[in-house]
Amino acid sequence: MKNPGEYVDIGDPALQVRTDEDGNTVASATIQAVVLWKEDIKNYIMDEVIKMCKEHGITDLYVLNRDFILSAVKEKMEREAQL
């Protein structure tokens, strides 16, 4: 185990991870930005899916979990890709 504050080198200095005084890992600003960007993209895609569904008369999506909707759309796309 690394000492608190010690960096773990994983190649690129911008992607280094260090531990805090409690032994938890602290991600760099680059990693944090990528995680936030990924969440923004996921939310944007979900908002567009819900918007398209509403445009086509599907209005009860508010009762469904976003992850459920995404997995259903992904499954349908995978099935269609196999045809």
The answer, yes or no, to whether residue 76 has pLDDT greater than 80, is yes
Most confident of 24-28, 39-43, 53-57: 39-43
Residue with tokens 């909707």: 69
pLDDT band of 39, cuts 50, 70, 90? confident
Dump the DSSP string for 58-82.
---GGGS-HHHHHHHHHHHHHHHHH
Q: What is the dihedral of CA 8, 5, 31, 69, to 10 degrees?
A: 100
Closest among 12, 52, 4, 47 to 29, alpha carbons compared: 12
pLDDT in tens, 7-37: 455 555 555 566 667 766 666 667 778 888 8
Question: Which carries the bigger pLDDT value, residue 16 or residue 46?
Answer: 46
Name the residue ranges covered by the structural domains of the chain. 7-82
